[in-house]
Amino acid sequence: MTSNINKTKPKLLIVVNVDWFFLSHRLPIAIAAMEKGYSVTVMSVDTGKGKSLEQYGIEFIPLPMTRSGMNIFSELRAVFFIYKKYKALKPDIIHHVAMKPVMYGSICTRILGIKPVVNALSGMGYAFSDANKNNFLIKKFIIAIYKIIFRNSDCKFLLQNNDDLNTLQSLKLVPDDNFYLIKGSGIKLADFPLAPEPESENVRILLPARMLWDKGVGEFYEAAKILKPKYGDKVAFILAGGVDLYNRALIPEETLKAWNEEGFVEWIGHQTKMAETLASAHIIVLPSYREGFPKSLIEASAVGRPIVTTDVPGCREAVVEGGNGFIVPKGDARELAVEIEKLIVDKKLRLKMGAVGRQIAERDYTIENVIQETFRIYSHAMGKDFSAFGEQSGACKKTYSTNS
């Protein structure tokens, strides 16, 4: 019975690199689409969370693709799998999210002549992060492939920061009118309420991210080594995040455990209740090398915490220097320590910056705003209204910003 009903519904297919990323960043869009009468299918690498999508009424297709693998035969198998599924599903609109789904999915839509297509890049990925100087050739290869795939294409590109937008526009892949900007994946503000500072005896400095070198975890550790001897038990440096075994920039668990033993930082692993984890800290730090638009900083702003981050794509757009936090040069642990120390010693400054962050979150980062802008892009891609959200098709601006 359900199958027959779904056949009459327009189909949205969302192809993502991994299931947990969809759940944390794209689930509200899928739910809102179903409320508008669309059937939604999600295709991604299955880490064990894909089955949980069925409780929302979403069809899940496990994607046999490695997130960072480079074996040519494995990658070709993934492309062929996507091709077969696209041919069978015949979706009305496809939303690719992340580097590999964008590349492999777009090859298949080009061959099959499927339209419309929205390609979302939540950052330009490891190859563009400068975490490894050997990335130069990979970056060149990706650009070359993109130029082949997207030549004379009418697909839409959705980016999260101006640096990535400008990078892709400079490649002249598609007309400038086909590029869109939505800063961040949004949050439900009620899930991240403004929280008072914890009344702990020490100032807690938290880095919330996967334990990767290109998240600036090494610089955070070095900054802790600078400040911990000076302040002792008056400060605590906390690492909150799991080890991503499928990422080339992973920090081995043995290294993190060794740091714990030294006592400069405390690694508490992956956290599921991020609002509580962020609220338990006084200062949030993300010294990343490159981001799309870091959700952790959106969440930190919402709970009212000052931020110290790096002057790199994505991060610098999440912070107003001197407003809701400080921006430091990438890879500079000493300058990172300087700015963290300013917040350690000045509670009034922390509270002031935290209040500004909350105002920014309320103004710019609501999930309702992100859903509305995403559906506008779907409407443009389809040439008709995707939903009742926002302005009618033809009346939308071409570049969207949720951080005015």
Residue 135: predicted pLDDT: 64
Query: Is 387 contained in some domain?
Result: no
Between 245 and 316, name the one with better pLDDT. 316
Residue 108: predicted pLDDT: 96
Residue 297 pLDDT exceeds 70: yes
Q: What CATH number has the domain bearing residue 253?
A: 3.40.50.2000
Cβ atoms of 20 and 291 within 8 Å: the answer is: no
Query: Is 162 contained in some domain?
Result: yes
Listed in sequence order, the residues at least 6 apart from 164 whose beta carbon sits closer than 8 Å to its beta carbon are 121, 123, 124, 292, 313, 314
Residue 142: predicted pLDDT: 79
Residue 387: predicted pLDDT: 65
In percent, the amount of the chain with pLDDT more than 70 equals: 90
Mean pLDDT for 98-106 is: 93
Residue 146 pLDDT exceeds 50: yes
In percent, the amount of the chain with pLDDT more than 90 equals: 77
Do 284 and 230 share a structural domain?
A: yes
Mean pLDDT for 273-291 is: 97
pLDDT digits (tens, 9 = 90+) for 302-348: 999 999 999 999 999 999 999 999 999 999 999 999 999 999 999 99
Residue 403: predicted pLDDT: 36
What average pLDDT does the structure give for the chain?
89
Query: Is 393 contained in some domain?
Result: no
Residue 133 pLDDT exceeds 70: no
Query: Is 394 contained in some domain?
Result: no
Do 174 and 218 share a structural domain?
A: no
Do 258 and 158 share a structural domain?
A: no
Print the domain residue range for 136: 2-186+366-382
- Per-residue confidence band for 401, with pLDDT thresholds at 50, 70 and 90: very low
Q: Do β-strands 59-62 and 39-45 pair in parallel, antiparallel, or remain unpaired?
A: parallel
Instruction: For residues 164 and 313, give the distance between their C-alpha atoms in angstroms, rounded to a whole number.
Output: 7
| Domains identified in the chain, total number | 2
Query: Is 389 contained in some domain?
Result: no
Residue 127: predicted pLDDT: 55
The pTM score is: 0.86
130 torsion bin: left (phi>0), alpha (psi -120 to 50), beta (else): left
Residue 123 pLDDT exceeds 90: no
pLDDT digits (tens, 9 = 90+) for 204-231: 999 999 999 999 999 999 999 999 999 9
pLDDT digits (tens, 9 = 90+) for 157-183: 999 999 999 988 998 889 999 999 999
Do 18 and 61 share a structural domain?
A: yes
- Per-residue confidence band for 143, with pLDDT thresholds at 50, 70 and 90: confident
Instruction: For residues 265 and 110, give the distance between their C-alpha atoms in angstroms, rounded to a whole number.
Output: 49
Residue 317: predicted pLDDT: 94
- Per-residue confidence band for 397, with pLDDT thresholds at 50, 70 and 90: very low
Mean pLDDT for 248-260 is: 94
Do 377 and 350 share a structural domain?
A: no
Cβ atoms of 303 and 192 within 8 Å: the answer is: yes
Between 268 and 121, name the one with better pLDDT. 268
Query: Is 38 contained in some domain?
Result: yes
Report the candidate in 201, 196, 271 with the shortest Cα–Cα distance to residue 238.
271
Query: Is 298 contained in some domain?
Result: yes
Residue 399 pLDDT exceeds 70: no
Do 250 and 161 share a structural domain?
A: no
Which single residue is written with the structure tokens 């209204």? Answer: 385
